[in-house]
Amino acid sequence: MQLTFDFGASGLIGEAWRRLTAHFGPADFGPARTPIGQLVKSLISNRTYDAVSLGAYERLTEALSWSAITGAPVGRIEALIADVEFADAKARHLKAAMQQVEAAHADFDLAFLGALPEDEVLEWLQRLPGVGPKVAASVLNFSTLGRPAFVIDTHVARILRRLGMIGPHTTAAAAHGQVIGALARWSPPELTELHVQMKRLGQAICRPQRPHCGVCPISATCRRSGVGEEA
Domains in the chain with CATH codes? 7-28+150-221 (1.10.1670.10), 35-142 (1.10.340.30)
pTM of the model: 0.88
Per-residue pLDDT tens over the stretch 64-93: 999 999 999 999 999 999 999 999 999 999
Task: Compute the distance between CA of residue 159 and CA of residue 161 in angstroms, rounded to an integer.
Answer: 5
Per-residue pLDDT tens over the stretch 117-149: 999 999 999 999 999 999 999 999 999 999 999
Could you give phi then psi for residue 14, rounded to 5 degrees? -60, -40
What is the DSSP-derived secondary structure letter of residue 145?
T
